[in-house]
Structure 1
């Protein structure tokens, strides 16, 4: 059975809504610090503000790049990544160019991934590659994961939570099978209860992106009593 503290430290506490306010981000950061979550997952604009809210906390600030569609140029994603890091981001979650993947332009996907992973690595920042699996065939998921195994981001991630579907146990298991021990897997999208969270972990996820982290941890506390 997983320790409560370890489970909490696998949670990326998420607020990515268009109407999120400063008060909402402050609450998010306070909750993440209180519960011992690993990271607050936010868009790139509020990174500096959340960095200030978490200045005395071990909780990481994570920036979503090219979010949620992935339909910006490599240069744009690189700039957004650099600015987020300058503003205090500890982790980068970027969305691949899904259309380019579906066109079979794997060299483009590799170039994009390498550009963002290189910047992140140079700055000591954790990098995560969002596949948005709901739009992909298994062959396309495998292709991206093979590229990731070569480029070595820290994580491959299932979903943005804004697509037509979120994380599935089958996708997590498939991704983990391809990347092996060299790259970790983050499950995100639709993880709203403890049972789902534990299934994702059992399938190979080492990080969980969710806005239901508090509910999950409170459920686990009751189970442990």
Structure 2
């Protein structure tokens, strides 16, 4: 398993510095991570640093609470794509979901997905599984499908817990094969990452990526 190629190497702490973002980029190139996931204010910096490499540029939209107005999320996305983002992780409006505003949620996802796809970028929708019942998780997943997102992502990493194997198994069961899953939040060991991939995750988001892939001495699986 080429685990590194399935990892979004992540630094979203509010105290992250420019130097740390540049180090994140260097690590992503050295280890072959899929993307770096950085705050929106550092997308242009990361894009410049990673120009000419295969590493993608991921950032977050409506993060971490998800209840920004749809127009604000759309503008955030426009700026991020202009700055060089290739993947956007947008937080679903959990309040709207729990209030039954499904049409508004679907429209928001559709608008962001259309914008991303025009720019040959991917949209991941963060549903924050820690805050949802199983029925709400299924509904959120269905809205992501209807909204033509590319991934359902489990978690922001800022809630009470991150991804679980049970979350990923549920999502994989209810999603079509074409819809990918990103597991994120609290994934700090190789064993945890591999268990989530075995459950159906296609991508892992981790701020502990270098240590995670270094847990084996066999470079063929790193």
Q: What TM-score comes out, normalization by structure 1 length? A: 0.95
Q: 1:79-120, CA deviations, whole angstroms, 9 ceiling, x for partnerless residues?
A: 000100000001000001110011121111101111111100
Residue of structure 2 aligned with 1:97, choices 87, 93, 103: 93
CA distance in 1, matches of 2:128, 2:21: 25
Does residue 195 of structure 1 match 2:183? no
Question: What is the 5 A alignment of 1:1-225?
Answer: 2=1, 6-222=2-218
Q: Which runs of 5+ in 2 are unaligned?
A: none
CA distance in 1, matches of 2:47, 2:217: 29
Report the 3-state secondary structure (helix = DSSP H, G, I; strand = E; otherwise coil) of the residue aligned with 1:115: helix
CA distance in 2, matches of 1:199, 1:180: 20
Shift of 1:147: 1.6
For the 8 Å contact 2:109–2:148, the answer to whether it is kept is no
CA distance in 2, matches of 1:38, 1:127: 15
CA distance in 1, matches of 2:215, 2:162: 21
Shift of 1:139: 0.7
Shift of 1:221: 3.3
For the 8 Å contact 2:9–2:206, the answer to whether it is kept is yes
Shift of 1:176: 1.1
Q: Which runs of 5+ in 1 are unaligned?
A: none
Q: 1:48-75, CA deviations, whole angstroms, 9 ceiling, x for partnerless residues?
A: 0111111121100111001111120000
Q: 1:136-160, CA deviations, whole angstroms, 9 ceiling, x for partnerless residues?
A: 1111110011122222211000000
Q: What TM-score comes out, normalization by structure 2 length? A: 0.96
For the 8 Å contact 2:59–2:89, the answer to whether it is kept is yes
